[in-house]
Amino acid sequence: MLFCLTANHRNTDFDVLDRISRAADSTGADVVAAHDFVRGAVVLATCNRFETYLELDDPVTGGVALAREAVLEAVAESTGTDAEALRQSAVVLSGDDVVRHLFAVSSGLESMVIGEEEISGQVQRSLRAAREAGTSSTQLEQAFQRAARATREVRAKADLAAAGRSLARLALDLADSRVTDWDAIPVLLVGTGRYAATTIAALQARGAGNVRVYSATGRADAFARKYGVRAEHELRDAIAAADIVITSTARYTIGPADIPDDRPRLVIDLGLPRNVEPAVGDLPGIDLLDLELIGRHAALAELGAGAHEVVGSAVATFHAERAAAPAIVAWRTHVQSVLDAELGRLRPDDDRAAAALRHLAGVLSHGPTTRAREFAAAGRLDEFERALETVFGVEVASGPSMVADDERAAG
């Protein structure tokens, strides 16, 4: 069974999100290590959400409640009292609702800026991080991989052109009233990660011609060459020369001591955890625009039924594929056994005949595999399974443990 605990911009204060996001690297591994009923975990931490996705043993008595406490315990180990704030605000989902939520998140339909472009990449990076940590699992792999497909379908079929924007673009929209000429105003970008590239694109789209970049990791020179901007190597000096400072980094937090004077500046903090200490906003001349303030201006209007209908269709397809997995595996196993028997009759050096038989087996497997998914989507999977047994004598195994094994084999 799938489980999700979600804390996001709609239900949790940004200060809490800021602090619990620091627990993202360890939460999944801690939960898996501490609880035998948790098969896998993926943690998604972005600038406006903290979500823990789990695969639980099924059936487990009180599994959802146990999973919720397991996540809260893991967060408490890292953040202390913020776990109680999370208990009061976070939403828990299970089963089919988890898949629908994940697909909607990946498609940008749950973001502060509806249609946000960066979120799908963040979802897939969270899966890769779980793989590297050894906490991914069969159902989580399937759900997250299908989420990427659902995102592509939403963007292809639904009208996201007008709403498909990033937080960086929204922040610059809010800054427009303060800027007379983007080409002339000196801008400093602090950070060289993936979101920094999006920010550079948003700046260049406005015609910003005096952009500099600073990196605490020493990657400013390479980043500057790639994007045609100037590298800076001393943060305080770089801030002194800038009228707008935009932060997007996991490596550095700007404090009052980094601000060299009280000349008027706009500081835009796109980081979570925060890249700019709140005290900076109290300094003379500083106008601080952080995620909480940006979120108040984010467009929350619905895109219309189209995008959500595509997500619903993708969810239905996902469940149909899972339901069809045992029948598909049974059919493929049958074809493979026939293939093995025929290969055993060939001469050991008859490579061409062996290759031809393998190709034929692949062709034979494909058609019924497709039909199994179609029948599952139409609610007629039992007809397909009876046909397999009637025509080929192939029985489809059932039961929770067998289904899980079959899904692994079916890919």
The residue type of 244 is I
Using an 8 Å Cβ cutoff, are 373 and 324 in contact? yes
Distance (Å, whole) CA 90 – CA 264: 38
Distance (Å, whole) CA 301 – CA 162: 12
**Three-class SS of residue 283?**
coil
The structure tokens listed for 127 are: 């899966």
Q: Which of 47, 280, 315, 388 is catalytic?
A: 47
Q: Which of 188, 201, 199, 192 is nearest to 232 (CA)?
A: 188
Is the backbone peptide bond immediately before 273 cis, with ω within 30 degrees of 0? yes
For residue 354, give Cα distances in angstroms to 26, 335, 363, 364.
49, 15, 14, 15
SS (H, E, C) 25-54: HHHHHHHHHHCCCEEEEEEEEECCEEEEEE
Using an 8 Å Cβ cutoff, are 52 and 98 in contact? no
Q: What string of DSSP letters covers 329-379?
A: HHHHHHHHHHHHHHHTTS-TT-HHHHHHHHHHHHHHHHHHHHHHHHHHHTT
* Pairing label, strands 49-56, 91-94: unpaired
Residue 264: φ, ψ to 5°: -60, 130
Instruction: Work out the angle at residue 92's Cα, subtended by the Cα atoms of residues 91 and 98, and round it to the nearest 5 degrees.
Output: 115
For this structure, is 4 an active site residue?
A: no
Distance (Å, whole) CA 320 – CA 363: 22
Distance (Å, whole) CA 38 – CA 66: 10
For residue 148, give Cα distances in angstroms to 1, 48, 127, 250, 320.
20, 20, 11, 25, 17
* Pairing label, strands 49-56, 38-46: antiparallel
Residues with catalytic roles: 47
